[in-house]
Amino acid sequence: MPFDVISSARMLERDLPAVWEWFNYRREKLGSLQPNPAHETIASWQERFPEFALVTQNIDGLHQAAGSRNVIEMHGNIWRARCFDCHARYDVRDLKFDQGAPACADCGGHLRPDVVLFGEMLPAGAFESAAAAAQQCELCFVVGTSAVVYPAAALPEIARAAGAYVVEVNPEPTPLSEHCNEILTGKAGEILPSCQKPDREGGLLTRKTPLLTRGFLTTRFSMKTLYFDCFAGASGDMILGALVSAGVEPDALIEQLKSLNVSGWKIDFEAVDRSGISSTYAHVQTAHEHAHRHLGDILKIIYDSGLNDRVKDRAGRIFSRLAEAESRVHNQPVEKIHFHEVGAVDAIIDVCGAAVGFDLLGIEQFISSPLRVGFGMAQMAHGRFPIPPPAVAELLKGKPIYAGDLEGEFVIPPGPRL
């Protein structure tokens, strides 16, 4: 039987003894496992810091076996059972399975594995407790997660929004990686123990991460953060206007953009009123052109310019990511992708202008609300496509989005990548 069927909520009703048989088998396989050095290190941190919270999606109970207390278990625990009727909880090692499914000693009702099955909600209060801890923390370690399963994947985002310093520990990159303050690549069992070694022993936190000192939290971390509230979507000119409203001097931004080897463009920044709220409208005007540029053409424009290296790097990464998305959509190598709308001069000015603005403001980290993408159909260079179009959908894969109640395209490249 497929894993997602035997581990589903509907199987509790169809064949509870079969569910218990499956979970008993899983416990047999887990029974010989012992906490590794990562579990033990995390347990030691609980003794070291008076304010410490441990949130886990694992159901194996190894954190508790290592000595961790008050663990917030997002998906339950395979070593516990719960009564359907009175919700009493039991250690399964104390139960008898001679009738297939054990009974509750308090009310006589059936017991079930105390884990979150496919098709079930998280335990009451689990996410709320985890979110409260994330909102209050100063340092957030994200260890060994795919960072794609929501709502748990939102916890690092909540921590970052509250000003925490976020460190990812993982063998390979995840969708969270580019948003973290530090990335420690490798096995948690090797990295976490080395984090607490003193300098002379080559501890990672003192040797490789300059903002994390031997005392772990010797100071409160403060970073200049730019928050995007995307209730009306996102586009390049919207972001340029917002940056000017946030304090970027238009003349300073335009002066830097003049070092790009492109002509026939002009930016006007206009103070406008939107529903009684003062805002800035950025209008990028360009001469009509027929050029369809490849990624290499755009990167040459950027790297041959007089922009500083930070701006060049950010703008180059933005266009590279756009090309990767187009590559997957069209099943073509990145170097063969030619841009239509996002290769035009106005898009180059949008991206490079935003990168200049971020640099002028000294932004160190970026946080975004869920993006409103709209719905309906949009006319593109290759024809009519549903909203969001394929390349935008690729860029937003794994990110929180919503359609909203108005038809139309609200997220327009390069907006989502910016």
Q: Is the peptide bond before 173 cis (omega within 30 degrees of 0)?
A: no
pLDDT band at 254 (very low <50, low <70, confident <90, very high): very high
Tokens, residue 262: 């492109």
Strands 265-274 and 277-286 come out as antiparallel
Residue from 39, 63, 75, 294 carrying the catalytic annotation: 75
CB-CB contact of 361 with 246 (8 Å)? yes
Residue 160 lies in a domain: yes
233 shares a domain with 110 = no
The set of residues, in sequence order, having a beta carbon less than 8 Å from that of 383 and lying 6+ positions away, is: none
Q: Is the peptide bond before 113 cis (omega within 30 degrees of 0)?
A: no
DSSP string, 277-319: EEEEEEEEEE-------BHHHHHHHHHTSSS-HHHHHHHHHHH
Q: What are the φ/ψ torsions at residue 326 (nearest 5 degrees)?
A: -60, -40
DSSP string, 12-37: HHH-HHHHHHHHHHHHHHHTT----H
Residue 213 lies in a domain: no
pLDDT band at 290 (very low <50, low <70, confident <90, very high): low
Tokens, residue 402: 């919503």
What domain range is 22 assigned to?
Answer: 3-115
Looking at the DSSP bridge assignments, the partners of residue 89 are 82
pLDDT band at 64 (very low <50, low <70, confident <90, very high): very high
pLDDT at 221: 42
Looking at the DSSP bridge assignments, the partners of residue 408 are 375
pTM of the complete model beyond 0.75: no
Cα atoms found within 13 Å of the Cα of residue 301, Cβ hemisphere only = 21
Tokens, residue 176: 């969270």
291 shares a domain with 341 = yes
pLDDT band at 152 (very low <50, low <70, confident <90, very high): confident
| Whether 294 is catalytic | no
Whichever domain contains 189, its CATH number is 3.40.50.1220
152 shares a domain with 38 = no
The mean per-residue pLDDT over the stretch 243-256 comes to 95
Question: Helix, strand or coil for residue 165?
Answer: strand
Whichever domain contains 56, its CATH number is 3.30.1600.10
Say yes or no to pLDDT of 114 above 90: yes
The mean per-residue pLDDT over the stretch 111-116 comes to 93
pLDDT band at 208 (very low <50, low <70, confident <90, very high): very low
Total structural domains within the chain: 3
CA nearest neighbour of 225 among 277, 279, 166, 183: 166
Residue 181 lies in a domain: yes
C-alpha distance from residue 122 to each of 128, 251, 262, 380 (Å): 10, 52, 53, 41
295 shares a domain with 161 = no
With pLDDT > 70 as the criterion, what percentage of the chain qualifies? 91
